[in-house]
Structure 1
Amino acid sequence: MPDQSIREARTPGAPAAEPASGAGGVSRRALLGTAGATGLVLGAAGAAAGYAAAPAGPTPLTSVGSGRAVFHGKHQPGITEGLQACGHLVAFDLAAGAGRKEAAALLRRWSATAERLMAGEAAPHDDTGVARDAGPSSLTITFGFGHGFFARTGLEKQRPAALDPLPDFSSDRLDKSRSDGDLWVQIGANDALVAFHALRALQKDAGSAARVRWQMNGFNRSPGATAHPMTARNLMGQIDGTRNPRPADADFDQRIFVPASGEPAWMAHGSYAVVRRIRMLLDDWEKLSLSAQEQVIGRRKADGAPLSGGSETTPMDLEKTGAGGDLAVPLNAHARITRPDRNGGAAMLRRPFSYHDGIDTDGTPDAGLLFVCWQADPLRGFVPVQRKLDRGDALSKFIRHEASGLFAVPGGAAKGEYVGQRLLEG
């Protein structure tokens, strides 16, 4: 779990326009009732683009529903926006006999549904009414293509080199049935019913063209649960991800998105998502003392500050020693190993969800992190960092990688287009 973060941000501005009611049903936003006219903004630190703006200062929880992300744009939604309270990750395989034509029709349906749901409107076909009383709740829907998609659609020549399968890692205990997939969908929202509504609508849209391969559910802290915006905590209780790249960084686009001149051309302004289901061995972790946990991570548990001193955002002093001459931040500390300057500048934008899938018969919680990270090239982002973690990360004995996937996520669709159109109709 590389040491990088997304933060919540609130910025002043005006609310988004009320979406019009469509043929599929009454606008959900029209049914908000007591919800505020302005929304809670969740955005990567220093940027809240894509969301309805909110006034500065504390925001009442009743306004969460009015937050709205934008479907059409240079990039797909669900990448640079802030962490959302709940989410679903789902992979589909194209059905036997389905090819390029069926895939194009499916992406066209999915894009139309995503545009409507993100605007707070009903699904275009057979809406279930699950989210009828809610606003958009900052819903984002993101689509990607797996390695096998290109052979199934006769588009092998358009498959990016960056989509080559990830190498094996020593910490992997992968369940193949919960890994990979032809198509990948990421759904995030700040309301659980809104997120489920989107999941159900997209599943129904798949029809006979594709079947679900695997599906995972996740969550984060709810908007407004803390007194001020702060970096998220994971299920180990650690502030998780302080060094995440931010859109305000000069090299952010270079690290996260494929350039307009990149190859293949259909991936311009897109990104690559690595998805890992990382089980946390919480019973073992919680047996450690507070001090031992902090030595494993390299940061204080209370506030995320490096063990070398300062606050959460203070640069880590890797040479500082304590009174006994030992390094303040141990050589195998997770935060030391994952630093970009210790990995040839490798960086990725982490946007994870926690998960809890029940308790095993022996009382062990099946819980951990649905790790999702974004980068312009996984061979320069995820892979070198994970290889280094494999060689000596103190955290490795407390986690287990149980599922994995790599997906090419094309750039955003312009108005009137669907996601992936440049690939499927190019």
Structure 2
Amino acid sequence: MGGDSGSTGHTGRTGDTGDTGDTVGGAPTAAISRRRLLGTAGAVGAAGLALGAVGGATGYAAGRPEPVAALTTIGTGSVPFHGVHQPGITTPTHSNGHLVAFDLLPGAGRKEAAALLRRWSASARALMAGEPATSGPGTSGGKGGGGDAASDASPSVGHDTGIALDAGPSSLTVTFGFGRSFFGRTGLADRLPAALDPLPAFSSDHLDARRSDGDLWIQIGSDDALVAFHALRTLQKDAGAAARVRWQMNGFNRSPGVTPHPMTSRNLMGQIDGTGNPKPSEPDYDQRIFVPAHPPTGTTDWMAGGSYAVVRRIRMLLDDWEKLSVSAQEHVIGRRKSDGSPLTGGTETTEMDLDRMGPDGKPVIPVNAHARISKPEANGGAAMLRRPFSFHDGIGTDGTPDAGLLFVCWQADPLKGFVPVQRKLDRGDALSAFIRHESSGLFAVPGGARQGEYVGQRLLES
């Protein structure tokens, strides 16, 4: 689905760049001090905070507060907001996520967009640090914030809702991007990157325009569902009268700690999904994913350190897929379902032997296998960093699940990453019969905000 490359298993988050501050037990002290768990009966250590202990002690703790328990490892994970790159790109995948696109409202232009990005950046910085959200229309927006936002003030914003009151940061990340239409609506058409040219049409597309594109895009990820929703609700409220939601999608992945060791995630087809992602150890890792810090003359300087996100809602036709035998599924993908190893043998990370023939004289890995067609070496080296979520939005009256993959991939240039790979998949991928692309978006995600900046400041104030 857009390439045989994706996310690695969960590990402790340290963020893309920047310092995480002093730590206690691997967790930033600031994160622990700002959000506290409710007291529980007895002293419960971080490693022993179990569901039974929390559930059984709720009433007792409310009547007689006990010493505050330490946050669990999952709760204390923290990713810095400031850095060379925005968080949520190379950060390990999260167990919960939301993708949401906004359109600027009539009358909102560059000034209003700048004020909105100040608010959003201030809220994201606070929430990612485990602090309450206090930014909103008419508020200062913290460092790098401010601006004349009084015209879109609302009495319902500017106060934390308390949704995640008892939780730690839970590795929350918030990532912001701009769609092609944003530049015309803010008078910045001359700053539009060539890499935001519209994606070509593909034969597997069944796109719903109402759930595609958008002026602004936000990716939210966390290892706690309430923390993720809290961020979504805060940013929606922060939009005030500047922007409204165009579309919104919810996703999930395997939770940290449910496997004996970190592993590549499985998708809803049961396949290990993401083996061929670029690895940080590869010498061209950064140049494949990020726009250079010093772009060549004539390119978009405000995108230095940024990346381009292709976002696709890919419906999996699970009823059809599940009718196949395991062997047939493996031949569609080109890898073993049990461990992700190539059909030619080895482990998940073993290189595929694309030249090996079987006793029948045919390639062991079929010529139309997804893993073969999407392999970077089969696409002139084109590669992208896949960081998807699974989704399930209910079951239809006919019993068909509305489920699949919220495909998100990152690259320095989508015309050299996603587009050539998807074109090749579109021409002969065996997996195409079992998926349907239902929405699409392409967004320019600028570099990370420096201390005292908001995301996009180098574009909006240039």
Aligned 1:11-90 pairs, distance under 5 A:
15-19=26-30, 27-29=34-36, 36=46, 62-90=72-100
Q: Could you say if the C-alpha distance between residues 346 and 32 of structure 1 is closer, same or farther in structure 2, counting changes exceeding 3 Å?
A: farther
Seq. identity, %: 72
Deviation at 1:261, TM superposition (A): 2.0
State how 1:324-403 maps to structure 2 within 5 Å. 324-403=360-439
> How many residue pairs are counted as aligned between the two chains?
400
Look up the match of 1:53.
none
Contact 1:175–1:402 (8 Å) recurs in 2? yes
Partner of 1:260: 293
CA contact (8 A) 1:276 1:403 kept: yes
Q: How far apart are 1:92 and its partner, in Å?
A: 0.0
Post-superposition offset of 1:321 = 1.1
* 1:320 and 1:327 in contact (8 A); partners too: yes
Cα deviation digits, residues 353-394 of structure 1 (max 9, x gap): 000000011110000000000000000000000000010000
Amino acid at match of 1:338: S
TM-score by length of 2: 0.84
Gap change, CA 1:35 and 1:387, over 3 Å in 2: farther
Instruction: Note closer, same or farther for the CA distance 1:32–1:383 as it changes in structure 2 (3 Å cut).
Output: farther
- Alignment partner of 1:405: what SS? strand
Q: Which letter does structure 1 place at the counterpart of 2:441? A: G
C-alpha displacement of 1:7: 1.3
CA distance in 2, matches of 1:31, 1:141: 26
Per-residue Cα deviation, 1:190-235 (whole angstroms, up to 9, x for no partner): 0000000000000000000000000000000000011111100000
Q: Would the aligned equivalents of 1:31 and 1:135 in 2 still touch at CA under 8 Å?
A: no
Verify: 1:405 aligned to 2:405, yes or no: no
Separation in 2, partners of 1:83, 1:72: 19
TM-superposed CA distance for 1:10, in Å, is: 4.2
Question: Is 1:112 aligned to residue 122 of structure 2?
Answer: yes
> What is the CA-CA distance between 1:403 and the residue it aligns to?
0.2
Alpha-carbon separation, structure 2, partners of 1:61 and 1:390: 47
Structure 1, gaps ≥5 residues long:
38-59
Cα distance between partner residues in 1 of 2:414 and 2:328: 32
TM-score between the two structures when normalised by the length of structure 1: 0.91
Matched with 2:205 is 172
Please tell me whether residue 233 in structure 1 is matched to residue 266 in structure 2: yes
1:208 to 241, 247, 268: 241
Out of 114, 126, 133, the residue aligned to residue 159 of structure 2 is: 126
Task: Name the aligned partner's letter for residue 6 of structure 1.
Answer: S
Q: Which runs of 5+ in 2 are unaligned?
A: 15-22, 48-69, 135-157
What does 1:262-341 correspond to in 2, within 5 Å? 262=295, 263-341=299-377
2:103 matched residue in structure 1: 93
Q: Provide the rounded CA distance (Å) in 1 between the counterparts of 2:417 and 2:341.
A: 24
Alignment CA distance shift 1:32-1:377 (3 Å): farther
Residues in 1 aligned to 2:369 and 2:398: alpha-carbon distance in whole angstroms: 30
1:10 and 1:276 map into 2 onto residues whose CA distance is 26
Could you say what the CA RMSD is over the residues aligned between the two structures, in angstroms? Answer: 1.8
CA distance in 2, matches of 1:274, 1:225: 29
Q: Between Structure 1 and Structure 2, whose CA radius of gyration is higher?
A: 2
Letter of the structure 2 residue corresponding to residue 119 of structure 1? A
CA positional deviation for 1:35: 6.8
In 2, the alpha carbon distance for the partners of 1:157 and 1:220 equals 39
Deviation at 1:19, TM superposition (A): 1.9
Q: State the alpha-carbon separation in 2 of the partners of residues 194 and 32 from structure 1.
A: 19
- How far 1:69 moved relative to its partner? 0.7
Q: What SS does structure 1 have at the residue aligned with 2:34? A: coil
Change (3 A) 1:329 1:36: same
Distance 1:18 1:243 in 2: 36
Partner of 1:137: 170
* Displacement after TM superposition at 1:260 (Å): 1.6
- Residues in 2 aligned to 1:197 and 1:18: alpha-carbon distance in whole angstroms: 22
CA drift at 1:247? 1.9
